């Protein structure tokens, strides 16, 4: 297929109207209102607390993951949430700036902030080492301190690690130790949503890191291996936080009729006592209230177990990609399919267009090889129609950035 034809195909969705992908992710989604008003004050609430490993920090089992979710931060902190997790990558640093404004009005010992330098966009260890130099890491740390307007950061992560070589990379470790010794970083951590068991064990055995933030949910293909690694790490004193607990939000894409039971999915992760806290994102009072209710009782009801289809399998592939990377060597173009699948999930499941676009941009596609393939040779372990999803999500590159909710230039 010629480039002209390919470009024409990718532009068709604009001409055909903002439906499907566009309807899910463009500006109108921002005008949704909370359906109810709740009393979110923490009085009379009996939360379940766990200690974040050797850090000694005692946290409610539900913390707050963020991406353009600063509008509910004050409500969350008032309601009893203590730990906020963000990243320098979110909205090009603007999320950190907004949190800095929120924190100015609160005692420093009333919240625990975690942030990170994002490394997930690099599939090969050498790519990271050659791109994120020691100076780059220093600049990121100083930038986060400046944007948050804090004297110190509670937990600083190397984010999205996929290779143990990065966890063991001495130039990074020396800088992190230097900042920790100076009191600018209280604790050090790594985050991972691919090759998790190896990363968790490597971070634990290295003796430098204090916390691991790992993808952990009932739909992960390697959830049993992750669970064993988490148990090992917690036994060694590592603090363990869970992300991606909601497993893509929907069982299906079409019209989003089959939503995963969010409360049950969060309970599933937290029933593992080695998970000290989880960081689901919530963007409105309804979602916050639901998360708070989980902290009062982690027991899965029979209906919730049925909703999660535990031990039953599912005919629906859903939106969650396990990031197993088995697809990459199968693709003749060596396309970064896992990152594209994650972008797809952000767009359709999480309704986070800016996050989807930023994730898509990291792939750096000047053209999409899928348009040139008569059929796709990739067999996805999660049952995804890879070609269909790739050619769908790349249309987002044709949407002007100013139309995307929360996109910062």
Q: Where do the H-state alpha helices sit in 236-352?
A: 262-270, 285-294, 302-308, 337-348
- Using a pLDDT cut of 70, give the percent of the chain over it: 78
Q: What's the CA gap between 84 and 72, in Å, rounded?
A: 11
- Using a pLDDT cut of 90, give the percent of the chain over it: 36
- Domain range for 327 is 19-30+317-403
Query: Which is nearest to 117 in space by CA: 198, 62, 175?
Result: 175
CA torsion sign, 215 to 196 to 172 to 408?
negative
| One domain, residues 126 and 239 | yes
What are 366-378's pLDDT values in tens digits? 677 787 787 888 8
Strand 58-60 and strand 49-51: the pairing is antiparallel
| One domain, residues 294 and 397 | no
- Predicted pLDDT of residue 121: 57
| One domain, residues 265 and 394 | no
CA angle (359, 361, 366) in 5-degree steps: 145
Q: How many domains does the chain have?
A: 2
Higher pLDDT, 393 or 57: 57
| One domain, residues 54 and 180 | yes
Domain end, chosen from 308, 343, 370, is at: 308
- CB count within 10 Å of CB 31 equals 7
Is 126 a member of any domain?
yes
Domain end, chosen from 278, 308, 338, is at: 308
Judge residue 9's burial from the number of C-beta atoms within 10 Å of its C-beta, 0-12 exposed, 13-18 middle, 19 or more buried: middle
Judged by phi (left if over 0) then psi (alpha if -120 to 50, else beta), residue 176 lies in alpha
| One domain, residues 327 and 251 | no
What are 22-74's pLDDT values in tens digits? 444 444 333 343 434 445 455 556 789 999 999 999 999 999 987 656 678 88
| One domain, residues 325 and 182 | no
Is 185 a member of any domain?
yes
Is 1 a member of any domain?
no
Domain end, chosen from 308, 330, 363, is at: 308
């Amino acid at each position: 297929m010629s480039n002209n034809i390919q470009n024409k195909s990718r532009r068709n969705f604009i001409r055909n109207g903002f439906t499907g992908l566009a309807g899910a992710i463009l500006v109108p989604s921002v005008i949704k209102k909370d359906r109810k008003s709740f009393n979110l004050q923490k009085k009379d609430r009996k939360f379940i607390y766990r200690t974040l490993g050797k850090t000694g920090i005692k946290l409610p089992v539900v913390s707050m993951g963020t991406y353009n979710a600063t509008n509910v931060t004050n409500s969350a902190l008032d309601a009893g949430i203590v730990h906020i997790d963000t990243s320098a990558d979110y909205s090009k640093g603007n999320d950190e700036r907004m949190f800095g404004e929120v924190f100015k009005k609160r005692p420093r010992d009333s919240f625990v902030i975690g942030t990170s330098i994002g490394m997930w966009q690099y599939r090969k260890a050498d790519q990271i080492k050659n791109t994120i130099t020691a100076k780059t890491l220093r600049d990121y740390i100083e930038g986060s301190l400046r944007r948050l307007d804090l004297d110190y950061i509670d937990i600083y992560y190397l984010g999205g690690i996929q290779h143990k070589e990065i966890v063991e990379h001495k130039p990074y470790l020396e800088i992190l130790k230097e900042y920790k010794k100076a009191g600018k970083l209280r604790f050090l951590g790594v985050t991972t949503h691919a090759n998790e068991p190896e990363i968790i064990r490597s971070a634990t055995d290295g003796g430098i890191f204090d916390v691991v933030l790992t993808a952990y949910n009932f739909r992960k293909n390697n959830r049993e291996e992750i669970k064993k690694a988490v148990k090992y790490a917690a036994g060694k004193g590592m603090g363990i936080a869970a992300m991606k607990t909601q497993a893509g939000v929907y069982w299906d894409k079409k019209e989003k009729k089959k939503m995963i039971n969010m409360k049950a999915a969060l309970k599933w992760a937290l029933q593992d006592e080695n998970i000290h806290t989880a960081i689901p994102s919530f963007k409105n009072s309804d979602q916050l209230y639901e998360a708070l209710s989980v902290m009062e009782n982690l027991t899965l009801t029979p209906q919730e177990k049925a909703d999660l289809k535990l031990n039953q399998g599912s005919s629906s592939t859903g939106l969650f990609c396990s990031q197993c990377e088995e697809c990459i060597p199968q693709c003749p173009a060596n396309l970064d399919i896992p990152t594209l699948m994650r972008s797809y999930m952000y767009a359709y499941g999480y309704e986070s267009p800016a996050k989807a676009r930023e994730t898509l941009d990291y792939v750096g596609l000047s053209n999409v090889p899928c348009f040139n393939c008569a059929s796709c040779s990739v067999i996805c372990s999660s049952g995804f129609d890879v070609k269909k999803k790739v050619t769908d999500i790349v249309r987002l590159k044709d949407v002007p950035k100013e139309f995307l909710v929360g996109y910062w230039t």
